[in-house]
Structure 1
Amino acid sequence: MPLTFVLEDLSAFTARNVGGYAFLVVFGGAFAAVVGWAAVGQKLTVLQLAGAAVVLAAMVVAQTRTQTDVREIRT
């Protein structure tokens, strides 16, 4: 993304473009792990799987929090 700031003008940053970038950032690693497993038989360790589970759980918690929950945490 920082290189994009240098090479593109600000009109390139539409909501759709930023959303697409966010999608790739979030799911890129998972996609690479699945392709690595399917294409060449790579395996993840227990620690890597645990880390992936923690990241997914954090994403679920972050998405299900309401604005009221966030205000309660800050006060």
Structure 2
Amino acid sequence: EQFALTREKEVSLAARVAALIEPLVGMGRVRSEVAIDMDFSAVEEAREIYAPESGQLRSEQVSEER
């Protein structure tokens, strides 16, 4: 699962790099490769909860070290 997520991010970033550079140098003239190192030892979670009865928007962030 971690390898798949890392690979998915690498492919996505390589495509974004190519999309940024191709208009400058021409279609098909860019080859981009990305290698990333992800730290899976920490988990960060953000939540926004809307409570219609109170009419207030609440936000919560949780950070957890593994």
Task: Give me the TM-score of the superposition, normalised by structure 2.
Answer: 0.30
The higher-RCO structure (CA 8 Å, 6+ apart) is 2
Between Structure 1 and Structure 2, the one with more strand by share is: 2
Larger radius of gyration: 2
